[in-house]
Structure 1
Amino acid sequence: MKYFAKLFLAAVLLVAYAMNFTSFARDLVYIDQVLNPAKLQGSGKLTWWGLHIYDASFYRAGSFSSPEFALHLQYHKSLSGLAIANRSAEEMSKLGVPDTQAQLWGKQLAIFLPNVEPGQSLTAIYNPKQGTTFYFDGNPLAQIAGADFSKAFFGIWLDPKTSAPKLREQLLGQHCPPPLLQESCKQ
């Protein structure tokens, strides 16, 4: 009887793993198509007061020196789109973006950011010619043009002054941040 219970548990874990892998592979397809090909630079998780908020993955286009990149967030907590937009504006302000500009960008984000539930994802992909394109579960949401917004938005995770330095370190790994952040880097 114990043998069958262990076998059943192993089968359940294998199916759960396969479902997560399939979901991850599905998510990577659209990132890979845009970055042609996508190369994972690093990943980590954000926790707040011991709560696992999301897993983050940072991709570069082809090489770790590419100016095109993507940040993929797989959520583990339910959050409203408005809360995500407001928090993004707060974090931009903390990085030195003038409050009026950060609030304006926060309002722009609030227009299209959806509520998220555990298992859902938001992805932002930066292309110097187009700006930042946002995706919800692999489907395009909106695009915000301009390097200033992109630098402020991605700075939330990648700027040296981020409020999540451990996550920044995990996302960048042993490689430099993207040129958008204009940070000198020696490899």
Structure 2
Amino acid sequence: MYKPGLIILLVFISILFEVQADNNQNVKEEKQAESFKELGFTEVGNAKFTFLFWDIYHSTLYTKSGSYIPENPPAELIFEIEYLKDITAADLLERTIEQWQHLGFSKAQYNQFIPKLKAIWPDIYAGDKLALSVQDNKSIFYFNNLKVGVIERAEFSQLFLAIWLSEKTSEPELKAELLGENIDE
């Protein structure tokens, strides 16, 4: 037989852990944003991708200048995606290929990167972050702030970022938000 005092104590402990988890998440998000600032990056824009009524991910684009001009992309940038839903590495790769095909890239342009992406990308769970850091003509992927792989080919970053930032993107409103444009105009 449970005593009312024990039940109240368990409920209180449960609430305390939930509040502490929320506080830890807020601290983690602040540290992440601070680390980009410490590296000299400024947010250009951010956007949430929703399919039907499911929020899939939240993405943010950072550059040194705080702006992004598609005709003259910066040499250094960070593109971070925080996933709000689980996605397998295989599904992520499949969706990436579908977007490249939508953009009209030939298989010859992206096929060379598929084995490398298979090796780099893990299965992703809600709350995980995948970031692309472009620097020195290299594309460096980070998963939850840990470096997980590098693609040395300079053309990869533009091919990958075209999914979100190209004129032909399948999500023009998301692109506008990432570029910090006012989509209400």
Q: By the TM > 0.5 criterion, same fold?
A: yes
| Higher gyration radius (CA) | 2
Please, which of 100, 120, 145 is the counterpart of residue 138 of structure 1? 145
The runs of at least 4 consecutive aligned structure 1 residues that moved more than 6 Å come to 11-14
The 1:141/1:30 distance shift into structure 2, 3 A limit, reads farther
Q: For residue 31 of structure 2, what is the aligned residue in structure 1?
A: 26
Please, which of 73, 77, 92 is the counterpart of residue 84 of structure 1? 92
Q: Larger deviation: 40-49 or 12-21?
A: 12-21
Please, which of 147, 167, 183 is the counterpart of residue 160 of structure 1? 167
Q: For residue 39 of structure 1, what is the aligned residue in structure 2?
A: 42
CA distance in 2, matches of 1:153, 1:109: 11
Query: Aligned residue pairs: how many?
Result: 164
Shift of 1:92: 1.6
* Superposed counterparts of 1:50-61, under 5 Å: 50-61=53-64
Please, which of 106, 123, 126 is the counterpart of residue 134 of structure 2? 126
CA distance in 2, matches of 1:110, 1:29: 30
Query: Where do 5+ consecutive residues of structure 2 fail to align?
Result: 1-11, 69-73
TM-score, normalisation: structure 2:
0.77
Query: Structure 1 vs Structure 2: percent identity of aligned residues?
Result: 24
Cα contact 2:43–2:66 (8 A) shared by 1:
no
The 1:103/1:86 distance shift into structure 2, 3 A limit, reads farther
CA distance in 1, matches of 2:55, 2:181: 24
SS of 2:75's partner is coil
CA distance in 1, matches of 2:134, 2:32: 16
SS of 2:61's partner is strand
CA distance in 1, matches of 2:78, 2:167: 18
* Superposed counterparts of 1:94-133, under 5 Å: 94-127=102-135, 129-133=136-140
Cα contact 1:89–1:105 (8 A) shared by 2:
no
